[in-house]
Amino acid sequence: MTKIELVNIIAQTPGVTKVDAQKVIQAFMSSITKALSTGEKVTLMGFGSLQPVKTKTRMYRDIQSGESKKARGKTIVKFRTGSNLSEKIN
């Protein structure tokens, strides 16, 4: 499902326009992005949780030159499903 499809589904609710649905989804995504960028864990009860995790610096080999190089650590986001979501998809 894409963002546009989600907007269309929400806009089918009586009293909700596409513009309103789009604003709500954008605000929701912005809030989650802001929280994750500051290192906060985001928990949506019954759905799941998103948590920023820092990876370690690691060594890798450049295939073309054969030389060893360092890949800097970075922050990734891990998602863990909530119990309700797990039950519904399994």
pLDDT by residue (tens digit) across 10-46?
A: 999 999 999 999 999 999 999 999 999 999 999 999 9
> Which pLDDT score is estimated for 9?
95
> Which pLDDT score is estimated for 30?
97
Going along the chain, which residue ranges are E strands? 42-44, 48-54, 58-61, 68-71, 75-81
Structure tokens at 67: 């030389």
Domain encompassing residue 29:
3-89
> Which pLDDT score is estimated for 75?
95
- pLDDT tens-place string over residues 37-82: 999 999 999 999 999 999 999 999 999 999 999 999 999 999 999 9
Count: domains in the chain: 1
